[in-house]
Amino acid sequence: MRYTNIMPPLSEEHIIFLKSSHLFYHIAEEDYDRLREAVKLVQFNPGDVIFQSGAEARYFYLIYAGEVEVSVTVDEGAETLAVLHSGEYFGQDALRLGMNYRSNAKALRATSAFRIQADAFEKLALAVPELVPPVRLIWETYELLLRNRLDWLNEDEVVHYFGRKHRFFLLTRLLLPLIIFVLAEIPLILVAAFVTPTPLMALLALLVGVFLVGLMLWNLVDWSNDYYIITSERVIYLERVVLLYDSRQESPLQAILSVTSDSSQLGRIIGYGNVTISTYTGDIVLRRLPDPQEVVILLNEKRALANERSRQTERQTIEKDILQRLGYIQSSLESGQPAPAQVHSGAVNHLLANLFRMRFEQGGVITYRTHWFILLKRTFLPGFLMTLVLAGLILRLTNTIQILDPARLVGLAAILEVILAGWWIYRYADWNNDRYIITRDTLIDLYRKPLGREERKTAPIKNIQTIEYERRNLIGLIFNFGTVSILVGDTRLTFDDVYNPSEVQKTIFERFMIIKKQEQEKADSKDRQRIADWLEIYDHIRQTRPDFSAGKPDDSR
């Protein structure tokens, strides 16, 4: 690792930058000297290894400018966790004394970062208690991120917040079975052991104990399965009920209008509350969060940071376009969009999905059908009755049963089989006719009855406000199907019982982001071309008019 300290002590510009981070948001002016004493600005060259997993966690870093890759070591090598930019931090292990780094960090290009030594940070936090809540938020996010792989994230998407409901609500869920265990199970064990030592009483005590312990474990797992996540692109609420329910609700950051927090008197005492994220057509409520005000500060910071990066990128693009227009550099073709990562299900489910063509793509248009389990459910009764009629006919022809004349039975069975086959075909056509289509810019929910009415709902992808999916029961969890719900203005489209709903949600979100990026680039390109035209005209006048001056014209002429 190589670095050089630059500009100590910190300038006012550096202090303003640090204050823009939610970590130092609460630092008061009288504590600026402490901040200057604790924080140093260091610089890394492209390719410098800043730290490696297993080394002593000595420093926490906040990027001032540049780009840093953070990865974790796995059996196959290194797995990238995130590529970080200005305003983002790494080296979270240094927030706790005596830790070793559990990740790797490498500068991808020339990078300057604010470096805080672990013991200096501890001293600063003791002097400024307001630092404790944001530090706790950063630490818990880092811990959850190391333990959970979010495979559905986009390649350049960075997780800024990863949290659960406050632990107080876990304790309340564990309290009742624990009280029952103390007041009922322990006396029951004593009765079974000393008062009525019979096998029946022992079995009863065992069953009650297993039930109470199982209930506490179920509550623990159920609490730990719900997550709130804020990334560089969206806000996400993951909710799972063990063996019963699985859903993901999300909203792009671009659709957010405002962010507020509220808490009750008990919430203020214990330290929990709700964060309400208002979009154009509704709210997403992150309930019972620890330190809700810190989450609001973080979310507002990341939204502002994303806007600032967009402005910086725009300035760089303007400079490039002007230089190209004036002939200083040659134009280059931009590379295409990277192929998005795919979310895969189990091998058997994937095989059956392909067999029933529950998802197929042609010319960039993706079409989904409802899950094959729904087909089996719809066609089960006519299929079962067809099998029953055929079995009865075989039993009669082999004289196993004696009902009706064989010739009459064959005729009756043929008529019934034709009717039942028509019923089965109708049910199959009804399943096959329901299509959910994703074009490059439109969502289509197509509902068509065989020989009957057709209902088609369409909505532009660019107007999406929220996307969520849910798998409501054990069958949906086992066979990986559920409903994806998309809110577009006042219209709600539902892709019912589609295979791998998380992949459907991811596909829609990716296309939304691509469209938004293209629209922004198109609008920005028009503005850049207008600026370039003015500068080209200015340059032409300056070269063709020797007497041209950028100053005020001479009135004497």
Q: pLDDT: is 278 or 328 the higher one?
A: 278
What is the structure's pLDDT at 234? 86
Q: In what order do the strands lie in the sheet with 272-279?
A: 256-262, 272-279, 283-290
pLDDT, tens digit (0-9, with 9 covering 90-100), for 174-192: 998 999 888 888 888 888 8
Average pLDDT of the chain? 83
Domain boundaries, the chain: 1-149, 167-224, 347-510
What is the structure's pLDDT at 269? 92
Most confident option among 38-42, 248-252, 405-409, 505-509: 38-42
Task: Tell whether omega for the bond before 9 is within 30 degrees of 0, i.e. cis.
Answer: yes
pLDDT, tens digit (0-9, with 9 covering 90-100), for 451-465: 777 788 888 888 888
| pLDDT over 90 at 56, yes or no | yes
Q: pLDDT: is 550 or 28 the higher one?
A: 28
What is the structure's pLDDT at 336? 40
Phi-psi group of 243: left, alpha or beta (phi > 0 → left; psi -120 to 50 → alpha; rest → beta): left
- What mean pLDDT is predicted for residues 530-536? 77
* Cα distance between residue 179 and residue 170, in whole Å: 15
Lowest mean per-residue pLDDT among 256-265, 398-407, 415-424 = 398-407
Contact 358, 496 (CB under 8 A): no
What is the structure's pLDDT at 482? 87
Q: Is 106 exposed, middle or buried (0-12, 13-18, 19+ CB in 10 A)?
A: buried
CATH class name, domain 1-149: mainly beta
* Cα distance between residue 90 and residue 252, in whole Å: 24
Q: pLDDT: is 161 or 233 the higher one?
A: 161
Lowest mean per-residue pLDDT among 25-29, 183-187, 244-248, 442-446 = 244-248
The SS3 call for residue 275 is strand
pTM score, whole prediction? 0.66
Q: What sign results for the dihedral spanned by CA atoms 428, 431, 433, 437?
A: negative
| pLDDT over 90 at 91, yes or no | yes
Contact 282, 466 (CB under 8 A): yes
Residue type, 180: I
What is the structure's pLDDT at 321? 72
Q: Is 536 exposed, middle or buried (0-12, 13-18, 19+ CB in 10 A)?
A: middle
Lowest mean per-residue pLDDT among 49-58, 91-100, 297-306, 323-332 = 323-332
CB-hemisphere CA count at 13 Å for 60?
23
* Cα distance between residue 315 and residue 309, in whole Å: 10
CA dihedral 476, 480, 483, 485 (to 10 degrees): 140
Architecture of domain 347-510: Roll (2.30)
Contact 286, 137 (CB under 8 A): no
What is the structure's pLDDT at 325? 67
- What mean pLDDT is predicted for residues 423-433? 88
What is the structure's pLDDT at 257? 81
